[in-house]
Structure 1
Amino acid sequence: MSRAARRRAFNGIFVVLCGIATALALGVLIMILWTLLSKGLGGIDLMIFTQDQPAPGSPGGLRNAIVGSLIMCAIGMFFALIIGILAGTWLAEYGAGTRYGAVVRFLNDVLISAPSILIGLFVYELLVAPFHGFSGFAGGVALAFLATPIVVRTTEDILTLQPGALREAGMALGASRAFVIRRIIWKAARSGLLTAGLLGFARISGETAPLLFTSLGNQFYNANPTQPMASLPTTIFQFALSAQEDWTRLAWVGALLITMAVLFINIVGRVLARETHRS
């Protein structure tokens, strides 16, 4: 067999293997979505959004868990966006090519892959044990630790893609570097910064382990972040292990709600990221 024929054969085998792997991945994804839709879609009604966690055998919904998840995710994203955008800006504009910047970038990448349960334990020792109580604020801080490195990495990548001519033009007019970053670079990269926030939110919206150590959960409606607070992931964890059929049904509904929210956020983030690369 000639060299050209061997290359064509190896190329064909590689393409077939890639196609099989892609088909398997898509097949698993379709099976997961089908299971969620078949078991959770029928349980969605108005009570899901208007009533709180029920007692076994009683009608109810997931209002307290939905509100708790939104509050804790909002707290987490508040800290993650401020710290993440500023840190990502420093890495892209000031720390690029420096040894200190390389160390910060490496530690940020390590934090991205850190197990969420370790983050929960750390925040437990930081904000729960010293104050002798679980709280929604502690849960939000734990989520912030998970979302911040995503925002940092995405912000750095987006700002690095901005043309250097924008910086040079602003400084040529006498503007300071900080002014150029705030008024020109951030404005040009606003869709990318929004993408960073969406990806960070998608990362934390389904986390369970850190919330078990920080917010604990609450079977009643509570919008006070200084008290234990329910969330969709912890409620799903609790209900899925129950032998009660109505609780199991609510667990599937909660899983479907989180999946659809994460899927929608990821699609929006991908679309915005594509538009940023085109511009």
Structure 2
Amino acid sequence: MSHTMTDQRPTTDPPVPGSVFTHRRMPRWAPAAIAVIAVALGVAIGLAFDLSSHVQWGLIALALFVLGTYVTTALLEDRRQAKDRVATSLVWACFVLAVVPLYSLVETTFAKGVKDLDGRFLTHSMAGVLATDEGGGVYHAIIGTLEQVGLASLIAVPIGVLTAIYLVEYGRGKLALAVTFFVDVMTGIPSIVSGLFILAFWILVLGFSYSGFAGSLALVILMIPVVVRSTEEMLKLVPNELREASLALGVPKWRTILKVVLPTALGGITTGIMLAVARIAGETAPVLLLVFGNPMINNDPFNGAQSSLPFYIYEQYLLGTDQAYSRAWSAALVLIAFVMILNLVARGIARWKAPKTGR
């Protein structure tokens, strides 16, 4: 009996063009080249059609970049890769569209605000300074902002964090649904409404005077829902296995939350709190209604009118003189720096308190 043996050795023939073994790739430098060409064409089109706004030039360049990426990839590779690269290009285009206004805002504020920003501006108030006078400072507004935001944070952060803990760890039934509903409603409340509520209740009904603390109460209403929502989402990200492991060791639930859940979510909670602080630090309407403004230094937030950085900027802008405009831009730069410092401090605290993982 004879057996027919087949040759199982791999073939050494070159792959057929267009088969699955061949795949052309676009060179790595191609996206950069397409971007350069798109920018050049965008500038040329802007000049040819006399488009005065550079933003229009940039939008044309972005559209040409996405179109050029699709056409080039479809010719050199295939349509599936072209769609993938177009999606990636759209992500980068959206990133650029988000960053460019932010950069423009910071650059403009810095260029116009740094002129009058010096030690004297940071250590003097507006007492006795007229709208047309040079000089003056923002010291009284810095004190007002620090005290009002600090008081609001001392009240809103514990309430917001404890509410989020209740909703995530204990909340069941109609009470949890009601709390969630009211938090959602409070998230969309305009700042002027919170100011009017405190004005009607705290000042007109209870008879207290205008003060920094009255403004802080309005800021609390704006801050609590942001803290609750951000803390709630961070607590939900903590793996249930950590809770179960702690409870299996006999640790009480309250101690598990305090020693396991909160330290794990501390970084995100701190970031959410700083976002809430950044929001209320720039509010003007509650200050206009409740704090009332004061050109002089008032270190007592519970008695008498105060100023704040947003109110100071609004006040100087209304004066309408070149000197007032310069002071307004400098105060805006101080406010941006204040928020940036808060965020840096929050990141440092989050890294310091974050749970350490062993190797």
The answer for the alignment partner of 1:169 in structure 2 is 245
Query: 1:31-50 CA deviation, whole Å, 9 max, x = no partner?
Result: 21111011001211011221
Cα separation, 2, equivalents of 1:170 and 1:180: 6
Query: 1:124-182 CA deviation, whole Å, 9 max, x = no partner?
Result: 11212232531111111111111111111121122222232332233334333223222
Shift in CA distance, 156/278, structure 1 to aligned 2, threshold 3 Å: farther
Query: 1:95-139 CA deviation, whole Å, 9 max, x = no partner?
Result: 1x6454244223313322321111111111121223253111111
Shift in CA distance, 240/71, structure 1 to aligned 2, threshold 3 Å: same
TM-score, with structure 2 as normaliser = 0.68
The answer for the alignment partner of 1:239 in structure 2 is 316
Asked if the contact 2:294/2:306 (under 8 Å) is kept, the reply is: yes
Cα separation, 1, equivalents of 2:264 and 2:93: 40
Bigger Cα Rg: 2
Shift in CA distance, 16/167, structure 1 to aligned 2, threshold 3 Å: closer
Query: 1:213-270 CA deviation, whole Å, 9 max, x = no partner?
Result: 1111111100111221110000100101212322221110111111222244446657
Q: Are residue 137 (structure 1) and residue 137 (structure 2) matched?
A: no
Cα separation, 2, equivalents of 1:174 and 1:137: 44
Shift in CA distance, 265/278, structure 1 to aligned 2, threshold 3 Å: farther
Q: Are residue 50 (structure 1) and residue 126 (structure 2) matched?
A: no
Residue 70 of structure 1 aligns to which amino acid in structure 2? L
Which is further off, 196-205 or 215-224? 196-205
The answer for the alignment partner of 2:42 in structure 1 is none
Asked if the contact 1:192/1:276 (under 8 Å) is kept, the reply is: no
Which aligned pairs between 1:72-111 and structure 2 lie closer than 5 A?
A: 72-95=148-171, 98-111=173-186
Shift in CA distance, 133/168, structure 1 to aligned 2, threshold 3 Å: same
Residue 106 of structure 1 aligns to which amino acid in structure 2? F
Q: In the comparison of the two structures, how many residue pairs are matched?
A: 275
Which is further off, 263-272 or 234-243? 263-272
Q: Are residue 118 (structure 1) and residue 193 (structure 2) matched?
A: yes
How far did residue 8 of structure 1 move? Answer: 5.5
Q: Matched residues, percent identical?
A: 33
TM-score, with structure 1 as normaliser = 0.86
Asked if the contact 1:158/1:189 (under 8 Å) is kept, the reply is: yes
Shift in CA distance, 5/269, structure 1 to aligned 2, threshold 3 Å: farther
Asked if the contact 1:120/1:213 (under 8 Å) is kept, the reply is: yes
How far did residue 11 of structure 1 move? Answer: 5.1
Query: 1:6-39 CA deviation, whole Å, 9 max, x = no partner?
Result: 6666555555444444333322222211110110
Q: Choose which of 96, 105, 108 in structure 2 pairs with 1:23.
A: 96
Q: Mark the runs of 5 or more structure 1 residues left unpaired by the alignment.
A: none
Asked if the contact 1:199/1:265 (under 8 Å) is kept, the reply is: no
Root-mean-square deviation (CA), in Å?
Answer: 2.8
Q: Choose which of 294, 315, 340 in structure 2 pairs with 1:218.
A: 294
Cα separation, 2, equivalents of 1:165 and 1:15: 36
Asked if the contact 2:263/2:354 (under 8 Å) is kept, the reply is: no
Which is further off, 238-247 or 16-25? 16-25
